[in-house]
A = this chain, B = another copy of it.
Amino acid sequence: MRISELSAATGVSVPTIKYYLREGLLFEGVRTSPTQADYADEHVRRLRVIRALIDSGVSIAETRGVVRALEDPPPSPHDLLGAAHAAVTAHFDEDVDVSAAEPLVRRLGWQPGICDPDVVAGVARALQAFDRAGFDIPVDVMTAYLDSVSLIAEAEVAGVPTDSPDAAVRYVVLGSVLVEPLLLALRRVAQQVASARRFGVSAS
């Protein structure tokens, strides 16, 4: 398959494919001559994954991390998850007060050492944003958040495919990242449903 056929098969323009090659998102094809390379079905699949990530709002740099985790997965499933999270979790030098997040994440079963510090820092940053905006979450609502994410994570971990390592890698890496927009979108729908039930829909 030549680059133009790869482009036709995926709907991604040739210059954009070249750009992804330059950026290290897509591995190179097999060179058949100094000015020719052969691309395989694997390239088509990878390109579709790249597009799905980028269309979901993942940046080029984060996408690079995700595809690297797919290509070169750590042996342990737990480290694999960590790699997927590290790829999409921004690292800030700005020091956030992680201690504010600790009582919260402890309620999820967190203990020192089992989580990537950047992931916990993400919780702390979100809480800091509340604080700065002068926004408080009712205790019952926070409890619902914690119960829900526990429920979600348990189901997700239970759903990791055990038959094929490749399938497990795809599930963990893509599941961590691609599901985020879905969850937010579902929450909005559920909010509107609950709100309609509680307050009624205004005539318009």
What 0/1 pattern do residues 113 to 144 of A give for CB contact below 8 A with B? 11110011011011101101111011011011
Cα distance A119–B192 in the bound complex, in angstroms: 9
Residues on the B chain within 8 Å of A104, using CB: 186
Given contacts A178-B135, A187-B153, contact A130 B52 (CB under 8 A): yes
Give the Cβ gap from A2 to chain B, nearest Cβ, in Å: 22
Instruction: Give the number of copies in the complex.
Output: 2
Do residues B78 and A178 form an inter-chain contact, with CB atoms below 8 A? no
Residues on the B chain within 8 Å of A143, using CB: 155
Residues on the B chain within 8 Å of A180, using CB: 184, 187
User: Is A21 at the interface (CB under 8 A from chain B)?
Assistant: no
Cα distance A115–B147 in the bound complex, in angstroms: 26
Residue of B nearest to A127 (CB): B182
User: Is A188 at the interface (CB under 8 A from chain B)?
Assistant: yes
Given contacts A130-B52, A157-B198, contact A193 B110 (CB under 8 A): yes
In the complex, which of the residues B49, B116, B183, B185 contacts A134, with contact meaning CB atoms closer than 8 Å? B49
Residue of B nearest to A113 (CB): B201
In the complex, which of the residues B108, B119, B155, B192 contacts A144, with contact meaning CB atoms closer than 8 Å? B155
In chain A, residues 158-199, which have Cβ atoms closer than 8 Å to a Cβ of chain B? 158-160, 170-171, 174-176, 178-199
Identify which of A104, A110, A153, A171 gathers the most chain B CB atoms within 10 Å of its CB.
Answer: A153
User: Is A64 at the interface (CB under 8 A from chain B)?
Assistant: no
Do residues B155 and A140 form an inter-chain contact, with CB atoms below 8 A? yes
Chain A to chain B: the 8 pairs with minimum beta-carbon distance, closest first: A144-B155, A52-B133, A153-B190, A122-B185, A126-B182, A148-B148, A76-B202, A157-B194
